[in-house]
Every structure is written in C-alpha cells, then in structure tokens.
Structure 1
Amino acid sequence: MKKKIELNNNWHFKIGDEITGYIQFKKWKKCVVPGTVHTDLLKLGLIEDPFYEDNELELRWISDSDWIYRNVFDYPDEFEKESPVILVFDGLDTIAEARLNNESIGKFDNMFRRYEIDITSRLKEKNNELEIKFGSPTKFAKSQEEKYGKMYVELNTERVYTRKAQYSFGWDWGPYFPTMGIWKPIYLLQKTNASITNLKFSTINISENKAMVEITNNIEGVEGSNFILDISLSLDDKVIIKKSVTKVSNESRVRIEINNPKLWWPCCSGSQPLYNLTVKLINENKQVIDVKTKKVGVRIVKLLLKENGNNTFKFLINNKEIFIRGANWIPPDSFLSRVTKDKYLKLLSLAKKANCNMIRVWGGGVYEQDFFYELCDWLGLLVWQDFMFTCGSYPDDSRFLENVKNEVIQNVERLQYHPSISLWCGNNECEWLWYQNIDKDIKKLPGYKIYHELIPDILNEIDPMLNYWSSSPFGNDEDPNDQSSGNTHQWNIWSNWVDYSEVKNDNSLFVSEFGFQAPANIETWEDALQKENLQCNNSLFAFHNKQVKGQERIFQFLSENLPISNEWNDFIYLTQLNQGLALKTCIEHWRSHSLRTNGAIIWQLNDCWPAVSWSIIDSDLKPKLSYYFVRDVFLPQIISFSNEDSCVKLNLNNHCKEETFYGFLKVHIIRQQTGEIIEEYEEKVSLNGHKNNVIYNVSTSKLDKYSNYVLLASLFNEKSELVYRNFYIKQKWKHIKLPKPTIDVKFESKPDTGYICLRSDLPSFFVDIHHPHLNFSDRGFILLPGEEKKIKIVNNSEVPVTTDKIKLFVLNNYLDS
C-alpha cells in the first residue's frame, strides 16, 4: 500500500537574501503551511490587517520581494529503504525553485498544477533540508511582459504571463495582493510497484429503470504481471454491484449496468444519492496493494443548443429541463489558505438556502479544493467550471501551451467524477472583450487555440461525456454576447449606466452574469474602517469599491429609484434595498420569459474582502439585504406582473417540475398616502409544474380610479402558509408617499432558538432588522396590518438579547407623506 508522510509542520520563512533593507525579515521565522507570506507576516504581528482601510497600498513591497521557505526532516521510519520516495507539491504559488540538501530539484511556474519529484537519491537519514524560494510574482510577470510584449488585457496587463489566480493582481471587486507561498499540502509519498494513478467515473446513459456507467482506471506498473481489479458500488452501506477485472492494463475501462438506479438531481429537483465507488488493485499473491474510493452520482447532463430548429441554451438533467438559478463564485478570501472547510460549508449552504441550483466557478480565481466539489455533490449544486483564463489575451507559444495542457489534464482528472460538475467552460469574457475593443475577428485573439483546440481536444480524450463551452459569453453570432444564440453577460445594466428597469428589453437565452452593487453590512464595515470614516462620502469607504466610478453608480442608481439619505445606517439600508430590487426585477423578467430564457446566474455570491461590490453575501459571511430578495425570487413558485390589454396581469410561475401547485391568491389594493387597504380579493389557484400562467387580472380602469396605489399579491399554499409576496406600482418608489407605521417588536424564546415577532398597524414595505449581535432568518419583507411575522434569530455572542438593541428600517419612513 502507498505510504504518505505530510511535511506541513516545522516550516520557517524569511525574505530573500538579495532584497535590500527589511532587516527584521531576514531572520528565519516560524510560518504555517499551507499558507501565504502575507498571512504569516500578519500572524507574527509584523504587518497590519491587509484589509483595514487602505493598508493594501502599504503592503505592495511583499509581492515585490522574493521569499524563502525552509523545512528540515528525517527519512521516515515508516518508509522502505529500497523503494522510491516521491516529494509531492499539491500547490506552489507560483514562481518557485525547490532545493533539497543544497541541490536544485525543480523549478515551478503554475499554482494550478501538482508536481511530483523523485528525491530518492538525494535523501539522507537525518536532517534533510528542503528550501523553496518564491520569486516575486509581480517582477516575474513584468519581466515576461517586457520580454514578449504587452498584450490586450483588462486591468493589470502583466498578469496573463503567470499561471496564477488572476484576481490576486486586483479586480473591480477585490484588492491587489499577488500572493506567494505553499498554498496546498506538501508530502512524501512511497508507492508500491503498481498503483492506481487515477479513477474516473461517467454515466453513459440512463433509461426508466437502468443506468450504464463507465469506470476508468489509470494504473502504472502492471506490465508483465497478473493483477486483478476489484470494483464495487454501494449505496447506504449496501453493496449494489461487484465486478472483477482480470486483464489489467495501464488503462482499464469497465462498463457496469445498474438496475433501478438512484439518480442524482440538483437541489429543488430531487435528491442527491451518492454511491460509494471502491476500486482495489490486487496482486498475484492476493494482496491489496492499492485502493481508490470516491463518492459518485448517477446522472446525465446535456446542454441543448438547438430546439425545433431554433437556438436555445438549455440544461437537461437526466433528460429533464432545469431552469438554472445560480450565482457566480469568486475565491472567498484574497488569501486562499484562510478559506476553511467551515467557510466553504457556510457559503455553499447559504447558496442552497437561497434556492440556487448552480454555482459558476469564475475563471479569474482557482480550481477549488476537493471539499468544495464534495459539498456541491452533497448539497445538489450544479457546478459550471471555468478554466482559469479571464478578460484578456493569453500567450500561446509552445511552452505556455504545454504548461496549460498539464494544468487542464490534472484538474479535469481530479474533478470529472463529481456529479455536480455540469459544464466545462474555456474562459471568462476573453473573446467578447477582444470583439468589443480590438477586432471583430475573434480568431485573431492570442490564446484562441487554448479554448477552441487544446482544451476541447483534451476533454474529448479524458471526459467526453460532459459538455464543453468555449467561453462565457459565447454563441454562434459574430458578437459573442449576442442575445440570439448561446449565453450572455448582461452588463449594460449597472456597468454601462443603464438602470435595472430596462431589463424588460433583454431577450437572452441564458444569462450567466448580471448584477448590481451594494455595500457590505454595517458590522462588517465597523471592523474595516475607523468610526470617523463610516460615511457614505468618505474616501476610505470609496477605496473599498474597486470599480472605476463604482461609487458614482451607487449614488446615481439610488437617486433614480429610491430616496437618498447620507446618514450611514440609512445609506447602507437603502443601497442594499436597491440592489435587492434590481436583482429581483431582473430575475422576475427572465423567469416570466422562461420559454426563451433558461437560466440566470447572479454576479456574484460572495466577496474576498470588505467591499462595496456585486456580492449578496459579504466577506464576513453575512447575507446582505439583497440575499433575501434573491432567495425569494428563486423560490419554485413566484408571482410576477405584466401590464397589457388594459389589465395588470398576475402571472404564477411554477418551477416545480413534477408537482402541481395548489393554493390561493390574495390581492390587496392599498392607498399610498394613508396605507388604507381599499379592496381585497381572494382566489383559489392551481398550476402544473414548469408552467407560467396568468392566474388573475385587475383592470387598469379600476386601479386608475384610485390614482396612487400599491397592488399587492400574496400567494399561499394549501396550509395557508405564505409562499411569495409581490408588489406592483406605476411610479418609482422615490415618488411614492407612504405613512410611517408603528411596528411592535417582541421576543419569543424556545429551548433550541429564539424568535422575534413583528406586528404593524399599517402596510410596511421592505422591513429590515438590525442588531449588533444577531442574524435573522428573514429581512426585507412586506408586512400587512394584522399579520404576525415570526423570524428566527441567531445569537452570535453571549450578550443578552434585548429589544433596545433592535433597529428597524422600513421604506415607509423615508417616504413619509
């Protein structure tokens, strides 16, 4: 059996000897592996918090310097003396040379690759000294740019010369921290003469009660010997299938038919059963010499691009249409070693609770850790996986292509078995930006062959069952972002200064990026800025919005839709509310046109630092107000409005594929100035799965006699539980006058948790709740008089919960008549 000894302890680091100055950093200091130079310096108290105020500007010297890591280890007692010893680097960031006992053993230039080095002949019994020198990524990138020429690249142009997380060079939502260090584990490995090097799993086809799967084993060292492969699939601790392979070669493909398979589905469409796949390599003495295990799911994913002769962009899971409700994922920290399993779990669980069924791993970050994809399998989150190229041209010389080839092979082989992986995508926005800014012929794009030749050729060889899409956005038209084919990025809204109300003109087949900015939550800013800088016009607050003229857009779009307040807490509430209304409006539009539009993926789920950005969850893992708007509009059943044929039509959209919805609709007409409910209607409703039908009409002549009104629609299920509530107004909210409500707040304690109960005397719009030590299960809701709203609370400290710490925000209070 393989033996593995981790080398993640007893590391020391220092600045490079040739760097002048920085005397205090020239002595060896303890460090953490996996980690980064920045986080090690921070832990030692040698630098201030990189995220605090504008400390980013004071820390650029770190990336401009070389750093050396050192470890001393003995030959492991567990290892055999006569067998080779392999040194494995799972991830080095990025430009590095390793030396063992003062001899060079390798140079490295790709943080996305795993490196194995046979060090058998260089090992001593005691005190083996391993040194890894990390070269400055900024100096390396600039030197390559000077040597080979500046290419068309958005943001920092030199970044494309390094196979490194591109966002680390700064993005329009993140700071400039090109990191260095051992960002993944290091270990010694001793293999047996024969071993399983890779295990792949694919679902070939499914029928009503059968599934054909293929298991591919890559094996080394089996030539000329008699080996057996024992393969078993089990579910819920029960062995379903066992099979033995007696003719074992370097690549053994085995097809197995499963009777009555339990299919894996994305969340909200079914369950996520995971089979245990175990493969044992057995020698002629019947000894098990290697074992590989994986959790796999039986499912088929298809991307449909034509339907009835027309262009489409539709995901079919197990031959059933799925409307994609997704969010874009960026690395959750500028310093990747701080992204713990707990952080992954919290963020992805929040995505599922927001009724997302897809996560797009954006191409400017990293191929995520194994645990990320394991969680997506378990939670039922489909993964759209970009390869790590974004927003620019890339070198395509033979050396660069060979580096990329190894990167792609390693990561596809590592990830392909996950049932959550639903699409490989070549890059983010490279062709589109070239088309927009340089040349209408996208084939002239440097790097074009990476996405249209190299990657698809590799995938055809090692993962032919899964779909590949060359870029996002992309399609069949001259403009890669044309709405007539493929997928689009909707950035006229926000980035091109167009308001979200204009989404009504979007006719995309599938939208894989759209978004709207808002600041992080109040408590997050209190840890990022001094108290005197907590002001909406403060320059340090603006420093945390990395988009050019991002703050100007915040103010413009706020003034276009909502009242403005410069008071800090009010400003946070109103801008987060505006973001929520924007995302809600866009998603409602695309869901109501789901016969054409087949999915919407929000930019973006999360943040990497305290920011004003497009995220719906801030860097402290606290949902913004917009998160709750997204959660609700991604529900299986929603109500939307359309004004046509002299009627305001209420449309019920039911995305439950197999279920007919039964319930009832309540309609309220509310007089704006007084909050009086003028008329109220109730109607039973039902709708089959995957339908979008008009379920109620209100004549515009009836509404017009009330002049200024709010039309409110509330959908209830058969248990009289509120499912969805929506509003219709003719004016923008900033032009409406509403009376201030009185909202009664009470706490209700139960053994396992607590609740806050709210009652209002008037219709209250977009109620938000703030407490310095609590999170709430719901925010931004509409409360009608006579209703009790019970909200689960989560106490984040030992501080007693009291009502005097509760602060309510209600849009009415800014629209007082």
Structure 2
Amino acid sequence: MSRRFRWLAAVVGLGLVVPLLPVTTAAAQEHATTAAPARAGEVRTIPDWRMQTSRTATAGGAAISRPGFNDVNWLKVPARSTVMAGLIANNRYPDLNYSTTMKQVDTAQFTVPWWYRKGFTADPAPGTHTFLKLNGGILARGEVWLNGTKIAGTDKVIGAYPTHEFDVTSLIRKGDNTIALRADSVNPDRDLTIHFIDWAQFPPDRNQGLFRDVALASSGAVSLRNLRVDSDLPLPSLANANITVKVDARNNTDQQQTAEVSGTVDGQSFRQTVSLGAKQTKTATFTVKLDNPRVWWPFQMGAQPLYEAALTATAGGAASDTARTTFGVREVESKLVQGGRQFSVNGKPFLVRGGGWASDLFLRTDLRKIEDQLKLTKAMGMNTIRLEGKPENDELYDMADRMGIMLLTGWECCSKWEKYDTFTAEDNRVAGESAESEARRVRNHPSMIGFLIGSDYAPPATQEKIYLDALKRAEWNLPVISSAKALSSPQLGSPGMKMEGPYWWVPPNYWYNKDKGGASGFASEVGPGPTVPELDSLKKFLSPNEINALTDYNAKQYHLAPSDTFSKLSFWGTALDGRYGKPANPEDLVRKAQLANYEVNRAQLEAFGRNWSDQDKPSTGVIYWMLNNAWPTMYWHLFDYNLATAGSYFGAKTAMRPLHVQYSYDDSSLAVMNTGLQDVSGLTVQATVFNLDGAQKADVSQPVTAKGNASVRAGTLPKPSGLSSTYFVRLLLKDSAGTVVDRNVYWLSTKADKLNYAASTWYHTPQTEYADLKGLNGLAQGSVTATASSTASGESASTTVTVTNNGGGGKVSFFLRASLRQGAGGAEVLPTTWSDNYVTLWPGESITLKADYRVADLNGKVPHVQLSGHNVPKSEVAAPLR
C-alpha cells in the first residue's frame, strides 16, 4: 500500500526527527505502520491511526493493544483526529458546513469510548531507551496501552492540555508492537476540556478523541528535556543581551551517569559536565552574551530575527540525546496606566489591536489554512491574537514568531474551567498540570505576550495559587493576568482589563464614549456582532431558503450562535433598516451589510488608535470579538470561514494602516495614527466635504507631524451649511512631495446615532435614534473604467487593477469592490490578499489595487477582476498571467 509521509518539524527537548516509513504487519496487511526510533536522539510522531467505537471494539485494551489484533475494518484517521474529524475524513457525512446538515449526526455514538490503534515495528539498539509521549491529553480522558499492558488510565490521562511521557523501554519488542488509546466521552461542564461556548454550533462529539500528536522518542542513558531560553535585554540601549539557556538532564538508568551537555547559540559554544545519580534529573544552566543582538519586534515596530539554541548530551562516549529550540531576543513587560493594562515590547509601549482566535470546530490541523489566516491578519494590520481556551498546536506559534504577530494565551470562560466551586482535588491537579504543560510548550516563543489564568472570572485564591505555582515551575517569564474582566484576584490584583460588551450591534459613535466598551483602557473582547459575508460566501453554507430568510430579523439562524442571545439578527437588522433603509431583498441586505460592517469595524479600531495618546483614560488595548470562524457563521469574524474578506475586514484594515488619517465621530476632530517607532514630519491632512450630488462644500488642509508610536490631533472637520442629510468626507494624508500616503472616505449623516447607555446589558447598548444614511440609495449611477495585469513567480501570483472614475457631473463611484475570479464569471479565488477594497472615487480619480494569491487557486483559469459598487454596475476585466 502506497502512503506518503512528510518530514516533521523539530520537537523541542526531544531530539532529532526522522521521516516515518510505511511498514506492513502480517496480522493486518492494510494497516500501515511506523518504525519505532532506532537510535538515541530520534523522535517519530505517529502519522495516522485506526479508530473504532467501543460498541464494535468490545475486546478491551489488553487485546486491542496486542500485535495481531485484526483492525482492518477500523477507520483510517489522521494523526490529530477527534472522533468527529475521523468520521468526516472517512466521508461518513455530507458537507457539515452547509445548511443544517450537522443536525443529521447521531450524537448517541459519542456517549461511549472510542479506540485508537497503531502498529509499529521496532529494533531497539542496545542501551536505547524508548518513551511514549502525549503532547496533550486525550479528550476528555482516556487509557494508554502498549503490547497488552496498560501504561496509564483515566486517573492519569485526563484534561485537554497536560503532557505525559512514559518510559516504555521494557515493553518494546523487537518486531511488531502496538499502541492503543481509549478516548472517553466529553462533557464540557464536567471536564477541563475544549468547549466552543457560543462561538458556533457545537461539534456533535464535543471534540472527543485526539487533537495533538502522539510520539515515540528515544535516547541513550541520559535524556534532555524542557529546553528553555531567556533573554535579558538591558533597556533602553539594546546594545547587548544576556542569554540564559537551561535544560534538564535526566538519568534514565538505575546506575550513576556522567553526561557532558554541550551546545551553541549564534556560533558561541558552551559545555558542562553533569553527574547524575540513579533516575536523577538536574538542570544544566549556561549563559551567553550577545553584543549588538538582532532584536525581535512586533511586525509594526521592526524585524523578527530568530536565534537557535542546539544542545547535545553525551554519555559513555556516545551521543545520548539532542534538543533544540528557536527564540527571539526581546523584552515584554506590562503595567497599569489609569487602570488599563498596557504592554510594552523592548521598552516601547505597545497598543494591542487584536482579535480572538477560533480553532477549527473539529480541531483539525490544516497548516496551510492557519498560515493563510495569519497572513490575512498581518495584512490587515492586526498585531495581536488572543487564544481563549484553545491554545493551538506548535505550528501556529512558529508562524507567529516569523510574522511578528503577538499572542495572548489563557483559559476559556463559561465551562468547567470557571466553575471553581465545583473543583475537586483531581480538577485542581489537572488545572495545574494544564498550566505548567502549556507554559513550558510556548514560553520560548517571542510572539508570546502574556497568560490569562481566567477569562470572565478571576480564579479564587486556591486556584490562583495552583496556576501561579504551575507557571513558576515552568519558569514562565511573561505577564500573568488574573482574568480578561475587571475583577481583582488575591495575589495578582487588578487585571487592568474590561469586559463590558458589546458583543452585538452598536453604531460607530459608540466606540468614542470612554465608558462601557468604548476606547479607554484595555477592552479584552468587544465587537459589533453580525458580520454578514458577501453573497458568494453565503451560498457556500446557506441554502436558498436560508438566504431568503435573512430579511426576517426575528427568525433563528442556524449559522448564528446556539445561544438564544445571539441566534437572531434582531436589532442589527433593525438598525440596518433605520440607518440605510429596509432591504428590498437578500441581495440588498448583503450589500448594505457590507456598509454597516465596514463603518463600525473601522470606528472601533480607529477609536482605540486615536485615544492611545490621550492623557485622560487612554486606550491601551482592544481584542476584536472575533478574528475568524471555527465553522461558517454570520457573526464574530473579520474574515469568514472560507477566508473571504468583506466589509468587516476592510473597515478594520483601513483603521490599522501604519500611517493613517481618521475622523472622530464624537467631536469631529481629525487625527493621524502612526504605528511605527519614528516620527514622520512634513505631512498634510486634507479634508474635503461633499454632498451626495458631488457638490464640494468644504476643503481644508492642516500640516501635521505624525509622532512615532502615537496618535496626534490634526484639526477639526468643518461643518458647512447646506449639507445633504447624507454626505461624504474624504481625508487625504500627503507627504512633503504631495504624494498621498493614506486615503479614507466616510459617509456621514446630519442626524446622529443615539444610544441609551442606562439600559446597557452585558452584550448590547440599545439604540434610540438612527443616523440617516438612506440618501445612498438614491445616488446617481457612477461609471468606472479598469485595466488589469497579472504576474506569476513560482507558486505565487499577483494581479493589479487600476480603476478610474470616468463619470462627469461630480458623480461619485461609491464603495467599489474588486474580487478575483477563476475566469470570466468564475468562482472567487480564495484566499486573496488585497491591498485595499471597497473604495470610493470622485470624477477623475484613480486607484490601483493589488491582489496576491496562489496560482493553483486559479484552477487553471485566466484571472479576471470583477468590479461592483453601491451605484456602479458589475463589470469584469481579464488579467492574464505573464
């Protein structure tokens, strides 16, 4: 049987990694196997499994884990595969993303344990020790068997995150061997596991099974574990750094051992002799000084150079084990500023403008999709991701290190994790093991910025001490925060974060009020709720009837949340009607949704940017709720499940441009935000006000210097008489040569949105009056021309399109969207990273947009750019690859 295996990434603290080879046993000819590590210092991750329900596999672990057990009728599943993910991989169900097909899944099958089984061959060299490693728990708890012997039971293997290592040297046989794992059913209200709360419809199996790697590792008499690296970067000079490297040397034998531990960092070598008693573990510590170190920064502030620490243990004159890790030289600190949590990186204050991460609903690992999502995040200008209760696999952290995206990790709300009064002694142990395991796993990544030991509730004294002791054992060296809500804890005190909502619709001016979820302090999870994608995307997961039902705001939508609070479009739709006019049909609703999504997302992130430099109640951070989707939904995302970018994404992208001019909804002030570290002088802000008919009502210019890592005010928008009830504002930021470096267009109303703050709930502030933007429905038809071209380089391609408003009489071409297509009228090419989109042009104006994508995603077709606008008919232009 032919089977391909990929090379695996290096594993910290475990040694060398070798390719996995397919082998066949006599007992089950179709069961592909892997060889166990044959020499010291090797690690092999189990590449795939066989999976079966215990209703069918009734023999028990002693029989199932013996070589020769017949599993040919079991399901073949990937290395990281929950039960549901395994069933999907075996095509047991139709597309579970579409409509309500997930309701067809019989949840009764997940009330019993499921078995995972893997055969492998071994030929261990004399003196080699073999270890079985679980890089996370079996959800929710399970058993581990090898060759008929139970290695660990449900009293040990429990919880999503604790790592385990078992010395199986005495159980390994020359020739055929078998591992069997039993995964019990999951109850998120009982188990310290993974829950999707109200982020999507629940996975039918509640993520029962495996979601991280199981590996076989080998070493000689002495193993190296828990390699950690700390950098001390004296501030503010950055002229040198002191690097501390630590590794645990463990004697695997019953005899005393003398090991030489040696290593290198940036070409500098070090070594140490370690004497170890029987089964003893000691920490070897090394220090290295780096002159003029290559300092690691978040991407908006600088570069992301990485160093490597590589260590070897030698015992008895032979290599015994290896360990290596990458790290970055940087300093992260945090403090409270007027009650708000402010982070700093390398001594520079760091305004967090981030989003909440959603893992795949079935916990599948799609490395290309993860990388695509991070690329979209960075291209949007978003500098931080919060991982609430769903810490990802190692690859995401590696990608974030390379891209310069900061990561804030921690536990989730609304499940067993925060039912502290129900914690048993076992729960306390698992909570501590979880914190220690996760902290050890991610501590070397320079992208990490902190650890939240609570989300909606700070842990009480007992659990807080458990977490802090666990983080201390892991030598966690970054800020620890009690919760994402303004609740003090016994030892950590105030978290400096607020969680006052909203989670559902609010108008743009909401964000400028510094109370509630507005732009002051650190808002740990806030957003305007519904983010309805474009029609191309909706058709991928909604039936025609479901699309037609979108105009019924009181109807429950399966692709909204399972909770009653967020299951309807409700007052989002009421506001859409009040502000833009009742949609005539679903297509009109989707079109107006992009306008609403764009303006409110831009306002949220612009408000936190503007108030960053305020003296009174400054903003210090915001986490947009949320960044992405676990499963296709119409709420809480900046790009959708299929990686399509719509109004929500480009409103946010506009707000977070590195040098950006913006309007303030509260006082009509203009501001310039600079995310770089250097001042930019010689700039001019030009503000022009237009009526809907194109008549220019005001035009003013203001010189400004954009201070580094700060925002500055740049005058006030004029308020001319005779404005139409809906009007436009165009802001241009120009350099000393007159070149436009930023462009921002607003559609505003002479009537303000009004909110009833006294009636606010935890998720919403009611709106009592609506801005009048209905004039947009009567815009005269605009006209544009476009030219496009494409180039390819290897697997990547770029298309540029230049769009010009050729209309006369002052006609605006409003909210133009460009999308890349597989041939004329073809499917949209996804993912595509656009330089800008949803742009507005006045007569004679041109703009050039660039799209980056993979050649393979054209599906062999000629790229076409499709243009459409609020008042511009749909058109296409070919852009053949050169």
- Shorter-chain TM-score bucket reads 0.7 to 0.9
Q: 1:457 to 1:96 in 2, by over 3 A?
A: closer
**Any conservation in 1 of the 2:135–2:213 contact (CA below 8 Å)?**
yes
Counterpart mapping for 1:456-495 below 5 A = 456-476=468-488, 486-491=496-501, 493-495=502-504
Residue 184 (str. 1) matches residue 184 (str. 2): no
Aligned equivalents of 1:184, 1:174: Cα separation in 2:
22
Which residue in the other structure is 1:219 paired with?
A: 249
Distance 2:44 2:474 in 1: 30
Amino acid at match of 2:139: D
Note the C-alpha offset of 1:200.
0.8
**Equivalent AA in structure 2 for residue 117 of structure 1:** F
CA contact (8 A) 1:518 1:614 kept: yes
TM-score (normalizing by structure 2): 0.78
Change (3 A) 1:9 1:678: closer
Query: How far apart are the structure 1 equivalents of 2:294 and 2:178?
Result: 51
Q: Counterpart of 2:818?
A: 769
Instruction: Render the CA deviation track for 1:510-538: whole Å, top value 9, x for unaligned.
Output: 11211122123433322223334322147
Q: Do 1:533 and 1:540's aligned partners in 2 also have CA atoms closer than 8 Å? A: no
Task: Name the counterpart of 2:744.
Answer: 725
Corresponding residue for 2:580? 562
C-alpha spacing 1:267/1:785, structure 2 compared with 1 (3 Å): same
Tell me whether 1:200 sits opposite 2:228 in the alignment: yes
Provide the C-alpha distance between the structure 1 equivalents of 2:503 and 2:87, rounded to a whole number of angstroms: 38
1:674-730 residue CA offsets vs partner (Å, 9 max, x unmatched): 122344344543333234333234543xx1244654332211334613413143543
CA 1:534–1:267 in 2, change beyond 3 Å: closer, same or farther? same
- CA distance in 1 between partners of 2:328 and 2:168 (Å): 38
* 1:648 shift after superposition: 4.4
- Residue 502 of structure 1 aligns with which residue? 510
Which residue, 251, 258, 266 being the options, matches 2:298? 266
Which digits, 9 at most, give the CA deviation of each residue in 1:760-801, with x for residues without a partner?
Answer: 222233322355324561322222221112222457434755
Q: Distance in 2 between matches of 1:16 and 1:106?
A: 22
Tell me the amino acid that sits aligned with residue 691 of structure 2.
R
- One-letter amino acid matched to 1:349: K
User: 281, 299, 312: which is aligned to 1:280?
Assistant: 312
Counterpart residue number, 1:2: 41
Corresponding residue for residue 158 of structure 2: 109
Q: Secondary structure at the match of 1:175?
A: coil
| 1:54 maps to 2:54 | no
Checking the alignment, whether the CA contact within 8 Å between 1:717 and 1:723 is kept in structure 2 is no
Deviation at 1:555, TM superposition (A): 0.9
Q: Measured at CA, do residues 464 and 35 of structure 1 come closer, stay the same or move farther in structure 2, by a change above 3 Å?
A: closer
- With over 3 angstroms needed to count, the CA separation of the structure-2 counterparts of 1:97 and 1:243, relative to structure 1, is closer
Q: 2:547 aligns with which of 530, 534, 543?
A: 534
Say yes or no: does 1:242 pair with 2:269. Answer: yes
Contact 1:265–1:272 (8 Å) recurs in 2 = yes
> Aligned to 2:644, what secondary structure does the other structure show?
coil
Matching residue of 2:198: 171
Residue segments in structure 1 that go unaligned for 5+ positions in a row: 20-24, 142-158, 432-446
Q: How far off is 1:643 after superposition?
A: 7.8
Equivalent residue letter for 2:814: F
599, 623, 631: which one aligns with 2:621: 599
Task: Find the counterpart in structure 2 of residue 442 from structure 1.
Answer: none
Q: Which residue of structure 2 lines up, in the alignment, with residue 806 of structure 1?
A: 866
CA gap 1:571/1:451 in 2 versus in 1, 3 angstroms = farther
Q: How does 1:271-420 map to 2 (within 5 A)?
A: 271-283=303-315, 285=317, 287-306=318-337, 310-331=338-359, 333-337=360-364, 339-363=365-389, 365=390, 367-388=391-412, 390=414, 392-394=418-420, 395-420=422-447
Query: How far apart are the structure 1 equivalents of 2:675 and 2:119?
Result: 58
Of residues 132, 135, 138, the one that matches 2:184 is: 135
CA contact (8 A) 2:661 2:671 kept: yes
- Percent of aligned positions that are identical: 17
Pairing partner for 1:618 from 618, 640, 644 = 640
CA spacing shift, 1:521–1:642, aligned 2, 3 Å = closer
For the residue of structure 1 that corresponds to 2:295, the secondary structure is coil
Deviation at 1:128, TM superposition (A): 3.3
Whichever residue aligns with residue 644 of structure 2, its letter is K
Q: Of residues 559, 574, 587 in structure 2, which corresponds to 1:544?
A: 559
CA deviations 1:417-465 (Å, max 9, x no partner) are 111111111122124xxxxxxxxxxxxxxx5246521112222343353
> How far apart in 1 are the matches of 2:469 and 2:489?
23
CA contact (8 A) 2:44 2:217 kept: yes
Q: 1:80 to 1:583 in 2, by over 3 A?
A: same
Q: Which amino acid aligns with 1:110?
A: G
CA distance in 2, matches of 1:541, 1:624: 23
Structure 2 CA distance for aligned equivalents of residues 706 and 85 of structure 1: 78
Distance 2:573 2:47 in 1: 48
8 Å Cα contact 1:660-1:688 kept in structure 2: yes
TM-aligned CA deviation for residue 274 of structure 1: 0.7
Question: Deviation string for 1:653-674 (max 9, x for gaps)?
Answer: 33322232433332222122x1
Matches within 5 A, 1:28-107: 28-61=74-107, 64-71=110-117, 73-77=119-123, 79-80=124-125, 83-91=128-136, 92-107=138-153
Q: CA deviation at 1:568?
A: 2.5
Counterpart Cα distance in 1 of 2:216 and 2:199? 40
Native 8 Å contact 2:723 2:750 kept in 1: no
Q: 352-361 or 101-110, which moves further after superposition? A: 101-110
Q: Distance in 2 between matches of 1:620 and 1:126?
A: 45
Normalized per residue, which structure has more helix?
Answer: 1
**Aligned 8 A contact 1:740 1:812 in 2:** no
CA shift, 1:390, in A, is 4.5
The one-letter amino acid paired with 1:768 is R
Q: Is the contact made by 2:122 and 2:172 (CA closer than 8 Å) also made in structure 1?
A: no
Q: SS state of the match for residue 368, structure 1?
A: coil
Larger mean Cα displacement after TM superposition, 181-190 or 628-637: 181-190
Unaligned residue ranges in structure 2 (runs of 5+): 1-39, 59-70, 276-280, 752-770, 793-797, 822-826, 874-882
Q: In the TM superposition, what is the alpha-carbon distance from 1:109 to its structure 2 partner?
A: 2.1
Partner residue in 2 for 1:782: 840
Q: 1:346 Cα shift?
A: 0.6
* Matching residue of 1:144: none
- How many Å apart are 1:263 and its aligned residue? 1.2
Amino acid at match of 1:631: K
Q: Take 2:414 and 2:110, find their aligned partners in 1: how far apart are those partners?
A: 23
Quote the offset at 1:476 in angstroms: 4.8
Does residue 663 of structure 1 match 2:683?
yes
* Cα gap change, 1:259 to 1:186, in 2 (>3 Å): same
Shift of 1:612: 1.1
